[in-house]
């Protein structure tokens, strides 16, 4: 997901992210994974993948949990 630079800071990216998360909440998946800006995505509930024991431990690897317990995924290497 991206927004053209000249269209940024108008709420477009936030609206897109809120809509995407609303569509995936009841999907049955365990989590949403993305590589993104560590200062932008936490406002939507994303946390560092390493908070859940996922690899690699980098600020850009982020997870939005869709299940309360993600311990079964600890040690998993995320695609990049």
Q: pLDDT tens track of the chain, all 80 residues?
A: 889 999 999 999 999 999 999 999 989 999 999 999 999 999 999 999 999 999 999 999 999 999 999 999 999 998 87
**Strands laid side by side in the 61-65 sheet:** 31-35, 61-65, 47-48
pTM of the model: 0.86
CB neighbourhood size of 9 (10 A): 9
| Residues with Cβ within 8 Å of residue 4, at least 6 apart in sequence | none
Q: Using alpha carbons only, what angle is made at residue 31 by residues 26 and 79, rounded to the nearest 5 degrees?
A: 140
């Amino acid at each position: 997901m991206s927004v053209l630079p000249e269209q940024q800071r108008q709420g477009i990216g936030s609206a897109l992210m809120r809509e995407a998360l609303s569509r995936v909440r009841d999907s049955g998946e365990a989590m949403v994974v993305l590589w993104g800006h560590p200062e932008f995505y936490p406002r939507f509930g994303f946390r560092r993948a390493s908070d859940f024991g996922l690899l690699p431990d980098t600020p850009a690897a982020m997870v939005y949990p869709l299940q309360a317990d993600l311990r079964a995924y600890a040690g998993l290497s995320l695609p990049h």
